[in-house]
A and B are shown apart, each in its own frame.
Chain A
């Protein structure tokens, strides 16, 4: 008898959800609360921030003092995973680059994200008219607005009402007050003609009305480590764990989904997966299959789900699956404020999301690139961790010593020790996050020559920036320098020039990749309809960032949540009508 056996369960769930991040988590939350029997498969480990967060640890509680040797965003960062996963490669094509960050854990990347929670605006959904470079979504801001509103009330977001046309206001909790360096930024930016407004983040600056499971923020500024009192949004703490409490959701972790199963009529019947710990193969059945595995993984799953009915991969008769992938643009600049040397010490940790930011403020008619970017700001008296004090020999010669004498760069001993104290908390940094144009020739596809350690064919990426993104990065750098100048800061970063595309980060680095299974009204040009339902397979839905037609300069999570909620409610309606 063969020892290789695929275990097939006879249970038919109302829905099988692949992935537990913002999209999968929201679908599980809505459907389980509505009484559906739901199965969720997560490729990583169980993770509950209440027990597993590295919150409130000091740097000396890490042998590497928080260095990013093992975890790309530091030893206390919440993400299990990174740019490379052991035994799970991906490849690139034609000398192009795409860096793919994957978190393998309950809640996925929402455990460590920046909690910056921006709505896409009316122009972001209908952007074709702006310059003809991009396609419109099949839906408008007004259609999504009620769901953004519900997400705001259900999960909580702070901010201020600003009445900006393409930066829609939400239902806001009180925002955190600006820190000292942020007041300098506000002043400097104003001199440079750059608007600065209060940040918008999913952190409970006050208790969330009608929610007894989540605690209010206590201002440790460590959202990236995930929160033990559930004071910020993670899909684990705010969606999946509450959904499990309904008794209607069954969760299987360490389940790496191989493909979506379909029947002779081409409808989805369930999925097959491998248990990563035992390597046992399974097939599970569902009346509806919902993919929330991430833009990359959902495309990979569909392309690997080849059948007689779907020879081109599932939901891919149009051939668009994998195409139009786009990440946000990103570039940054750092410096310090000499006027803050020897500053008074106090706790200014604040919240772990942005206290202030700059929404896009210019008119493209006067610019040599399309679309825009927002600016996020940082700096201040952080907990010292690995890297603290490094490069002092490039700093301490730039300003006179305490007695006003020229200071020789570098050094050692008592005067050097004092320099670290003097410079503490003077740093200031800024980073742009902008719109990249979705292009058909930026794509991911199956690499037919490479499989991962479970035998699943992997993704191959082909992604190039164009002059549109490069010129945007150049503009960012010019703006950053003006703001730095306006606030009297000394720039310490090397100012990047054309040789590095003006510091434009490689595609993927901003971890906002979207667009691989895009929605649209025309089945020849899109994989999903406006409800994120596959044109080719009516009981298959995609609820992560894959359905995005064109991202604005807004971070994707809040839109993923709103769209997943909208799709989940649509599934409930269709069930009533017996359509799915």
Chain B
């Protein structure tokens, strides 16, 4: 079966396929419109029964309290704020992702819950208020104290460990979202014809003559 027919066979229209294949021949940097279907709750083909059941159960449970979620939301947007290129962590649904992933991977639960509480205790000692109720300036001051592992004070160690995890979950949640994938510029997951590194890129790195 030729490529064009095989793409038709999985439901990609002849028109979009033709465009994709033609555009790829001449211009590999051409951004391609993702053609895959969006997930719906009914989209369970190829999932085992226990997986569907497990997802349903996790979605029905709640782990973080409202206060914890509010703290996660503020922290997430400090870690990944809106800029000229894309939205913030909360715009990309990062707090909801974190709520799900700690249920899915329970080893996150104690460090996250305990870390959030450590942060509130710190803020309450420093500013007399939990983190979310602090002024923006106080919040940034607190975060700065735990965001730089190599220069943080030794007594900040639990906060550094927590913030590393919070940074990781925020980044992963953001850059795996629709907003984040567009931001990072991932151009794949779409039918195309791979013909090698574009000429201008080969030239940029002086790789024109490297052959395998």
- Chain A residues proximal to chain B, CB less than 8 Å: 45, 47, 50-54, 56-67, 69-70, 78, 80, 86, 176-180, 182-184, 186-187, 196-198, 207, 211-222, 228-229, 231, 339, 343-351, 355-356, 381-393, 397, 408-414, 416-417, 420-421, 424
A64-B101, A347-B187, A417-B81 known; A410 and B149 CB under 8 Å? Answer: yes
Binary flags per residue of B162-198, CB closer than 8 Å to A gives 1, else 0: 0110011001111111101101111111111111111
Q: Does B15 contact A (CB under 8 A)?
A: no
Judging by beta carbons under 8 Å apart, are B81 and A218 in contact? Answer: no
B201 on interface, CB distance cutoff 8 Å: yes
B25 beta carbon closer than 8 Å to chain A:
no
**Which residues from B are CB-within-8-Å of A220?**
188-191
The answer to whether the Cβ of B121 comes within 8 Å of any Cβ in the partner chain is no
Contact yes or no, A61 B171, CB < 8 A:
no
User: Is the CB–CB distance between A412 and B172 below 8 Å?
Assistant: no
A408 CA to B193 CA, complexed, in Å:
41
A177 & B195 in contact (Cβ 8 Å cutoff): yes
Given A229-B7, A388-B176, A390-B172, answer yes or no on A383-B191 (Cβ-Cβ < 8 Å): no
Q: A390 to B167, alpha carbons, bound, how many Å? A: 8
Q: Is the CB of A413 within 8 A of B81?
A: yes
Minimum CB–CB distance for B107 against chain A, Å: 10
Q: How far is B149's CA from A52's CA once the two chains are assembled, in angstroms?
A: 44
CA of A496 to CA of B78, assembled, Å? 36
Q: Which residues of B contact A214 (CB under 8 A)?
A: 1, 6
Per-residue A-contact encoding for B196-212, CB less than 8 Å = 1, 0 else: 11101110110100111
- Least Cβ distance of B181 to chain A in Å? 6
Do B79 and A384 touch across chains, with their CB atoms under 8 A apart?
A: no
Q: Are A421's CB and B172's CB within 8 A?
A: no
Contact B188 A347 (CB under 8 A): yes
Question: In the complex where A339-B205, A345-B187, A408-B148 touch, is A59 in contact with B195 (Cβ < 8 A)?
Answer: no
When the two chains form their complex, are residues B7 and A218 in contact, meaning their CB atoms are under 8 A apart? yes
- Indicate whether A229 sits within 8 Å of B1 (C-beta atoms), given known contacts A183-B197, A347-B187: yes
Which residues of B lie under 8 Å from residue A219 when comparing CB positions?
191-194
Q: List 8 A-B contacts (CB under 8 A).
A: A50-B9, A56-B190, A178-B197, A180-B205, A186-B212, A343-B201, A345-B185, A411-B148
Q: B148, A410: Cβ atoms under 8 Å?
A: yes
* Complex Cα–Cα for A420 and B181 (A): 11
- The number of A-B residue pairs with CB atoms under 8 Å apart is 249
In the assembly, what is the distance between CA of A179 and CA of B197, in Å? 6
Q: Is A63's CB under 8 angstroms from B100's CB?
A: yes
Minimum CB distance partner of A47 in chain B? B46
Contact B9 A215 (CB under 8 A): yes
- Among all A-B residue pairs, the 9 with the closest Cβ atoms: A215-B6, A177-B196, A389-B171, A52-B46, A345-B185, A229-B6, A56-B36, A61-B39, A349-B188
- Structural contact, A389 and B192, CB atoms closer than 8 A: no
Whether A346 contacts B171 by the Cβ 8 Å rule is no
Inter-chain contact B198/A356, CB cutoff 8 Å: no
**Residue B141 at the chain A interface, CB threshold 8 Å:** no
Q: A385 to B173: give the CA distance in the assembly, Å.
A: 9
Measured between beta carbons, the chain B residues less than 8 angstroms from A229 are 1, 6-7, 9-10
Q: How far is the CB of B83 from chain A (nearest CB, A)?
A: 5
Q: Does B155 contact A (CB under 8 A)?
A: no
- Say yes or no: A416-B80 contact (C-beta < 8 A), given A177-B196, A177-B197, A393-B149: yes
Residues of A within 8 A of B55 (CB): 63
B166 nearest in chain A by CB position: A412
- A421 to B104 alpha-carbon distance, docked (Å): 27
B207-A183 in contact (CB<8A) = yes
Contact residues on B (Cβ < 8 Å of other chain), bracket: 35 or more
Contact residue among A53, A70, A348 (Cβ-Cβ distance under 8 Å from B188): A348
A394 and chain B: residue at smallest CB distance: B149
Residues of A within 8 A of B62 (CB): none
Query: How distant is A348 from chain B, measured CB to nearest CB, in Å?
Result: 7
State the Cβ distance, B102 to closest chain A Cβ, in Å: 11
Pick the residue among B104, B177, B204 that contacts A60 (CB under 8 A).
B177
Query: With A and B bound together, what is the CA distance between A59 and B148 in angstroms?
Result: 29
Picked from B43, B180, B210, the residue with its CB within 8 Å of the CB of A384 is B180
B129 within 8 A of A: no
Within the complex, which residue of B3, B45, B46, B188 is in contact with A381, where a contact is CB–CB below 8 Å? B188
Contacting B39 at CB < 8 Å: which of A47, A50, A57, A351?
A: A57
Q: How far is the CA of A382 from the CA of B180 in the complex (A)?
A: 13
Closest to A215 in B: B6
Given A52-B46, A180-B205, A211-B1, A350 and B185 touching (CB < 8 A)?
A: no
Contact B3 A216 (CB under 8 A): yes
Who on chain A is nearest to B5 by CB? A215
The CA of A389 and the CA of B6, in the complex, are separated in Å by: 35
Q: Which residues of A contact B151 (CB under 8 A)?
A: 408
Asked if B178 contacts A60 (CB within 8 A), the reply is: yes
Query: Is A58 within 8 A of B171, CB to CB?
Result: no
Min CB gap B15→A, angstroms: 16
Structural contact, B197 and A391, CB atoms closer than 8 A: no
Chain A residue contacts of B177, Cβ below 8 A: 60
Complex Cα gap A355–B54 (Å): 37
B49-70: which have CB < 8 Å to A?
A: 50-51, 54-55, 58-59
Chain B residue numbers with a CB within 8 Å of A411 are: 147-148
C-alpha spacing A318/B151, complex, angstroms: 66
Tell me if B175 and A389 are in contact (CB < 8 A): yes
> What distance in Å separates the Cβ of A322 from its nearest Cβ neighbour in chain B?
30
B38 within 8 Å of A (CB atoms): yes
In the bound complex, do residue B2 and residue A207 qualify as a contact, i.e. CB atoms below 8 Å apart? Answer: yes
Separation in Å of the B210 CB from the closest CB of chain A? 5
Q: With both chains docked as a complex, state the minimum distance between the C-beta of A355 and any C-beta of chain B, in angstroms.
A: 8
- Report yes or no: A64 in contact with B104, Cβ–Cβ below 8 A: yes
Q: Assuming A219-B194, A349-B189, A410-B167, is B28 touching A51 (CB within 8 A)?
A: no
Cross-chain contact B201 with A346 (CB below 8 angstroms) = yes
**Residue contact A178 to B105, C-beta cutoff 8 Å:** no
Residue of B nearest to A66 (CB): B176
Docked CA distance A65–B105 (Å): 12
User: What's the Cα separation between A115 and B212 when bound, in Å?
Assistant: 20
Q: Pick the contact of A69: B38, B104, B150 (CB < 8 A).
A: B104
Chain A: which residue is nearest B194 at the CB level? A219
Q: B100 contacts which chain A residues (CB < 8 A)? A: 63-64
In the assembled complex, B35 has its CB within 8 A of some CB on chain A: yes
Q: Is B16 an interface residue (CB 8 A)?
A: no
- 20 further interface pairs, Cβ-Cβ under 8 Å (given A207-B3, A388-B176, A420-B171): A56-B10, A56-B189, A63-B55, A63-B100, A65-B97, A65-B176, A178-B197, A183-B197, A215-B3, A219-B193, A222-B189, A229-B1, A345-B185, A381-B187, A381-B188, A383-B189, A388-B171, A410-B147, A420-B175, A424-B185
